[in-house]
Amino acid sequence: MSATRSTAAGKVLDVLAAFDREHPAQTLSEIAQRTGLALSTTHRVVAELAAWGALERGEDGSWHVGLRLWEIASGCPRTQILRDVALPFMQDLYEATHENIQLAVREGAELVFVERIAGHRSVELVTMVGARFPIGSTGMGRVLLAHAPVDIQEEVLESPLRAWTPHTVTDPRTLRAQLDRIRREQVFVSDRQLSESTVAVSAPVRIGRNGPVSAALGIVITSRGASRARGLREPLLRAAYGISDELGRRTRSTA
């Protein structure tokens, strides 16, 4: 990463952007290296962010994102209403399946996970709340891609697709056909596309039963239990419909 902004605010953004899923904690030198900022500048920006609470220092001397930043981010209107509406349905879906239940939204050509419920017996995932992935990488992402604007779909289909596992679909023609099938069938089963140990069953969440797609709801199970995927279709659709209906009611009541 290199610093592309010359303003004070830009340098602050560069420092914050240095923290991601692969780099949750970093030393001052590592932050300077990732941002391209001078060490003295990095020290000043980090100190200001720490004084405000956006960054915190661990016992080992490394820096990580602070609680104040999380408090602000949790109030994002786009996800706050969605999460408030979805959580009761996600909890019901978890009680019915005792598997990982995830909620994700699209941002450009990326997928962002915004909520998750998991039990101690649920299969371990490579995803987590706040994580971003290319939208074509996951089952939930492909559901969102199937309902994305045409220019986003073409951008993804015309770009090289990463093969996360030997099973990952990377051929554009095959993926295009897959997206057509998702639009027809609503529920999509993603078999070991992101991880060889998992299978995901995903469905779109709309604003109203027939409104625009707002998010994707998914159940992730172990690939050893892939035969269960078909039986998860109905409970998943009930939850997705419930969230969609409630989002529609809230939208109408605030219009």
Residue 207: pLDDT above 80?
yes
Q: Which residue has the higher pLDDT, 213 or 2?
A: 213
Give me the residues paired with residue 65 across strands: 55
Name the pLDDT band for 75 (thresholds 50, 70, 90): low
- Name the CATH topology of 8-72: Arc Repressor Mutant, subunit A (1.10.10)
What integer best gives the mean pLDDT of the chain? 87
Distance CA 150, CA 38 (A): 42
> Per-residue pLDDT averaged across 64-83, rounded?
76
Residue 77: pLDDT above 70?
no
Name the pLDDT band for 211 (thresholds 50, 70, 90): very high
Distance CA 198, CA 226 (A): 8
On the 0-12 / 13-18 / 19+ scale of CB atoms within 10 A, 100 is: buried
The secondary structure of the chain, three-state, reads CCCCCCCHHHHHHHHHHCCECCECEECHHHHHHHHCCCHHHHHHHHHHHHHHCCEEECCCCCEEECHHHHHHHCCCHHHHHHHHHHHHHHHHHHHHHCCEEEEEEEECCEEEEEEEECCCCCCCCCCCCCCEEECCCCHHHHHHHHCCCHHHHHHHHCCCCCCCCCCCCCCHHHHHHHHHHHHHHCCEEEECCCCCCEEEEEEEEECCCCCCEEEEEEEEEEHHHHHHHHHHHHHHHHHHHHHHHHHHHHHHHHC
Distance CA 239, CA 92 (A): 8
- Look at residue 110 in the predicted model and tell me its pLDDT: 92
Most confident of 31-45, 68-82, 215-229: 31-45
- Look at residue 1 in the predicted model and tell me its pLDDT: 47
Q: Which two tokens stand for residue 234?
A: 């109905």
- The residue among 199, 195, 194 whose CA lies nearest residue 228 is 199
Residue 155: pLDDT above 90?
yes
Residue 3: pLDDT above 50?
no
- Look at residue 30 in the predicted model and tell me its pLDDT: 92
Name the pLDDT band for 76 (thresholds 50, 70, 90): low
> Per-residue pLDDT averaged across 87-101, rounded?
93
- Look at residue 193 in the predicted model and tell me its pLDDT: 79
- Reported as a single tens digit per residue, the pLDDT across 15-33 is 888 887 678 898 999 999 9
- Name the CATH topology of 77-254: Beta-Lactamase (3.30.450)
- Domain spans, the chain: 8-72, 77-254
Instruction: Name all contacts of 246-255 with Cβ < 8 Å and 24+ positions apart.
Output: 246/85, 246/89, 247/81, 247/82, 247/85, 247/205, 247/206, 247/207, 247/208, 247/211, 247/214, 248/206, 248/207, 248/208, 248/209, 248/211, 250/81, 250/85, 251/207, 251/208, 251/211
- pTM value? 0.73
Q: Which residue has the higher pLDDT, 253 or 109?
A: 109
